Copies of this chain bind each other. A is one copy, B any other.
Amino acid sequence: MVNETQHTCSASSSSKSDGGSSSGSESSKDSSRCSTPVLDADRHERLREKMRRRQDSGDKWFSLEFFPPRTANAAVNLISRFDRMGAGGPLFIDVTWHPAGDPGSDKETSSMIIANTAVNYCGLETILHMTCCNQTKDDITGHLQKAKRLGLKNIMALRGDPAGEEWEEEVEGFNYAVDLVKHIRNEFDDYFDICVAGYPKGHPEAESYEADLRHLKEKVFAGADFIITQLFFRSETFLKFMKDCQAIGITCPIIPGIFPIQGYHSLRQLVKLSKLEVPQEIKDVIEPIKDNDAAIRNYGVELAVSMCRELLDSGMVHGLHFYTLNREVATTEVLKRLGIWKEDPRRPLPWAVSAHPKRRVEDVRPIFWASRPKSYIYRTQEWDDFPNGRWGNSSSPAFGELKDYYLFYLKSKSPREELLKMWGEELTGEESVFEVFTCYITGEPNKNGHKVTCMPWNDDPLATETNLLKEQLEKVNRRGILTINSQPNINGKPSTDPIVGWGPSGGYVFQKAYLEFFTSSEIVTALLKVLKKYELRVNYHIVNVKGQNITNAPDLQPNAVTWGIFPGREIIQPTVVDPVSFLYWKDEAFALWIEQWAKLYEEESPSRMIIQYIHDNYYLVNLVDNDFPLENCLWQVVDDTFELLN
């Protein structure tokens, strides 16, 4: 590309031959501003821009609708579902607004908090639904302000269902979705992307199909950016609707709402609510198999796939919106069969990024929360700025406290009975704890025949990368080096490496070997003697629950342990071992012994006392081998330690 310098940057483009530069006098303050190299253009675009870019590139996409769950346990499950379904690459998800469920509150199950979780903790572009009827202007503004504060950037503006049979318009009130659209644009300018609902068969309460189209046009002209439609059963219905919209001058994207039939009852309920009529040919198939859930779901998938194919083949449809009913199987199946479920193994950074706009530039985190990214996000949610480029040694990161509410994110996905089976109904000593750690590493069943698929510090099975170290990890865990985090050293693997790669292609990634574990004071004493031999090579931090801290880190500076070199970019160093935040992590890591493990047992029970003893007496240790081009010496350090003990 040829750039005339005038438009591409502020540098002088004068052609003086005397060497004079008319470079002006931009604020010199700005000259040293740090900023993140653009690793992931996606992170910097708003939803409507992403939609436009995907449409321009001919790249088909999908989105997923969820409703807020009723219980805290269901919320934990829904968040896991966000993570799993997020892996397929939805352009966005949306969360419905349930006026009866206190949707704007701070409850774990409110629409607001579920949408907040999707954006911040799952890194998903999210639309929050919002209804306006029967609400005051102040209430609505309050909800919108809160949404903005939480990092939500997209609102689906709806009327909602009027209360009572005899609904009358309120003067000065919000009577229609268009009022809400106008209100959002008035009060928040262009901050939000706004979506509105379209009715391919016309709104059931509209005077006519044509009148409803005119209402839709009003909503768009009031400032809506795109339309998602109500479900329908035939592709012709949507395509006709789309042409009719275009005919009256609606030019924004219109996204068909797809409802894969997943069961007889859910279909009936939805039809009742939406006042839609199920076509006879569908009824004919369903009625005879109404008690066979699997058969109905298979039929639903079939039907959805063929309808979606017709829509995509029409050339008028670029994205499909799925009403998931909070279920995974049918929608995933449809998406996979359509070939638009795309699990992209590439990661912009080694850790999962949050979609909060404040976190757009974030590109450095301490390694400690590698298996607990949601906890890290929670504990840093009050930060105004996020580190980029450098973590910085003068920083005093003020991590949020471990409060009750936090336990929601801290909660394991597995129920108590399951955890007891994995971690032991009854512990007989420290060795039985070693055994649990070892089984988690090896993937072998414990002595009662149960696989250990999670630990208090890792709610998921062992990462692929950790698998590279499996053999050595097994060996040391058996002997009481209870590992909770580790990474191998990497000396310049391609950034596209399926296991350790991240960032744009064409780059090289590097790592220093890292090992973090709990261990007894006896082992720590021997370890410290051994570490003297490795003084220049290995950095260590050793701390107990009381905060007694032993380290050889120079000036308490952070140590970069993961970094990447990319074409045409500055160096990225996304993970550091930071001495200061380690002490915040220490509180969390020790607390997990008690909160997640000890409390499974009765107070004063021997099992609980064993965990309490470990919590009170063990040390949390982290080791970094700085010599990344050489063979990882940390295993030798541990071997030397055991040798010294014998």
A residues in contact (CB < 8 Å) with B: 1-6, 8-38, 380, 382-399, 401-402, 491-492, 506, 508, 510, 536-537, 539, 543, 545-560, 563, 565-571, 573, 576, 579-584, 587-588, 590-592, 594-595, 612, 615-616, 624, 626, 628-629
Contact = CB atoms under 8 A, between A and B. Distances in A.
Given A399-B21, A401-B20, A565-B560, A536 B12 contact: no
Given A3-B549, A19-B595, A587-B19, A567 B31 contact: no
A547 B387 contact: no
A573 B576 contact: no
B13 A547 contact: yes
Contact of A396 (B30, B397, B626): B30
Given A3-B551, A9-B580, A19-B590, 9 more contacts: A1-B552, A3-B550, A5-B583, A12-B547, A16-B587, A20-B587, A21-B588, A38-B393, A571-B571
Contacts of A399: 21, 23
Contacts of A553: 568
Contacts of A27: 396, 398
Contacts of A380: 31
A539 B565 CA distance: 14
Number of copies: 2
Contacts of A402: 19-21
A552 B8 CA distance: 12
Contacts of A3: 549-551
12 contacts: A2-B549, A13-B546, A22-B401, A26-B397, A28-B398, A29-B385, A31-B396, A32-B383, A38-B393, A492-B629, A560-B571, A563-B565
Contacts of A580: 9-11
Nearest to A393: B35
A398, A536, A558: most-surrounded residue (chain B CB, <10 A): A398
Contacts of A547: 4-6, 12-15
A28 B491 CA distance: 34
B31 A591 contact: no
A567 B550 contact: no
Contact of A394 (B30, B539, B551): B30
B549 A5 contact: yes
Given A37-B557, A38-B557, A388-B390, A584 B552 contact: no
Which of A14, A384, A390, A539: most chain B CB closer than 10 A? Answer: A390
A365 to B, nearest CB: 11
Contacts of A20: 401-402, 587, 591
A512 to B, nearest CB: 8
B583 A628 contact: no
A559 B570 contact: yes
A537 B566 CA distance: 10
A583 B9 contact: yes
A27 B384 CA distance: 9
Interface centre among A394, A548, A569 (most CB of B within 10 A): A569
A31 B557 contact: no
A535 B626 CA distance: 34
A483 to B, nearest CB: 21
B17 A590 contact: yes
- Lowest 4 A-B CB distances belong to which pairs? A19-B591, A13-B547, A11-B583, A389-B390
B568 A8 contact: no
Contact of A398 (B24, B551, B552, B554): B24
A396 B26 contact: yes
A134 to B, nearest CB: 38
A568 B557 contact: yes
Nearest to A598: B17
A311 B398 CA distance: 54
Contacts of A4: 547-549
Given A35-B395, A571-B571, A11 B581 contact: yes
A390 B3 CA distance: 25
A395 B546 CA distance: 45
Given A10-B580, A33-B395, A396-B30, A570 B390 contact: yes
Contacts of A506: 536-537, 626
A567 B624 CA distance: 9
